[in-house]
Amino acid sequence: MSKKADKTTLLSGLGGLLALSTIGSVGSWLAYSRLLIDHAMPLPAAIDAPRKQFLARRRNRLLNYYVDDHASGRPLVLIHSINAAASAYEMRPIFEQYRSTRPVYALELPGFGFSERNNTPYSASMYADCIADFLDEVPGEAADVVALSLGSEFAARAVLAHPEQFHSLTMISPSGFTPREKKVSSQRAGDSGSSDTAYSILANPIWSQAFYDLLTTRVSIRYFLRKSFVGLVDPGLADYGYLTAHQPGARYAPLYFVSGKLFTRDVLSAIYQKLELPVLVIYDKDNFVRFDALPGLVTTRPNWQLARITPTMGLPHFEKMPQVAAALDRFWG
């Protein structure tokens, strides 16, 4: 046999071994996910406050929220972000900051925390309807709303449909201002129309749970959180993220997010530019979104204000809560 043939045979053999090894690893992880990972871990409260439920009528969703309403004043409603391990814990620093001075509510969106996690369709319009139902039924008067990341798109959508329920809207590190060519894969999928295909692949019942389990190992959760902190990752947020991601049905809503189905195409022109209420954006740098389009919007919309809190990477209220509170107080004042 020639040296070239020997080399070809060797490469073919190595390729076959690599393929078999990959298949074996995938099969092992599928079995490990199914048999050895606990998907019903005990879940404590995300916030040390009374936890209640309400039914979002328009979408028939039973949702959880935390409340401290012993103080008087205008209601403050907090909306967390959307990710693989989201919950009201993401808004905990703001809840603790204001619970002694005004009524504060932290809503958990469908598919997260103690809210229903059914295997049913999730969409931006569904989330907006649930936020609107909550504001209508629970605080019962126009509220100051603070939303995080993609939750900002849902809250802004709710404003357009039900402006009377909002006194103001604050968006922390909001999505929707990133140039199309610089968006991450999930956001590009929403723009390109490929999100349906991506979802059909990710949600395949053979491997959807195993795929989600890969996203929500302790190592993965800390890896992604490190991208949102300048300093050390908040240990409570990381630990709670792992627990809330290991609940029955925890994968359903995040798979819609990862595939890009929850982003609103052209949200800047379709929603943000149409807002008439007072809007504050708190931001700095972020590894998942950019804010290139933000200054141009603010120069043409006098109801918009900016507060850049440095150095932060997407979760300023965990690392710079005094500065965040100062910005909020100025805005509300």
pLDDT digit of tens for each residue in the chain (333 aa)? Answer: 444 444 444 444 444 444 444 545 778 888 888 889 999 999 999 999 999 999 999 999 999 999 999 999 999 999 999 999 999 999 999 999 999 999 999 999 999 999 999 999 999 999 999 999 999 999 989 999 999 999 999 999 999 999 999 999 999 999 999 887 777 666 666 666 678 899 999 999 999 999 999 999 999 999 999 999 999 999 999 999 999 999 999 999 999 999 999 999 999 999 999 999 999 999 999 999 999 999 999 999 999 999 999 999 999 999 999 999 999 999 999
**What 3-state DSSP class applies to 52?**
strand
Q: Which pLDDT belongs to residue 194?
A: 72
- Polymer length of the chain: 333
- The reply to whether 201 falls in a domain is no
Cα 44–chain centre separation: 20
Whether 278 and 305 have beta carbons less than 8 Å apart is answered as: yes
- The reply to whether 222 falls in a domain is no
- The reply to whether 141 falls in a domain is yes
Which pTM was predicted?
0.91
- The reply to whether 292 falls in a domain is yes
- The reply to whether 315 falls in a domain is yes
Q: Which pLDDT belongs to residue 1?
A: 46
What CATH code is carried by the domain that includes residue 90?
Answer: 3.40.50.1820
**What 3-state DSSP class applies to 330?**
helix
What is the bridge-based pairing of β-strands 104-108 and 61-68? Answer: antiparallel
Helix (H) or strand (E) holding 283: strand 279-283
Q: Where are the alpha helices (DSSP H) in 84-206?
A: 92-98, 124-137, 151-161, 185-192, 195-202
- The reply to whether 282 falls in a domain is yes
| Domain range enclosing 101 | 51-180+266-332
- The reply to whether 31 falls in a domain is no
Please give the tally of structural domains in the chain. Answer: 1
Q: What is the 3-state secondary structure (H, E, C) of 94-127?
A: HHHHHCCCCCEEEEECCCCCCCCCCCCCCCHHHH
Q: Which pLDDT belongs to residue 16?
A: 44
- The reply to whether 245 falls in a domain is no
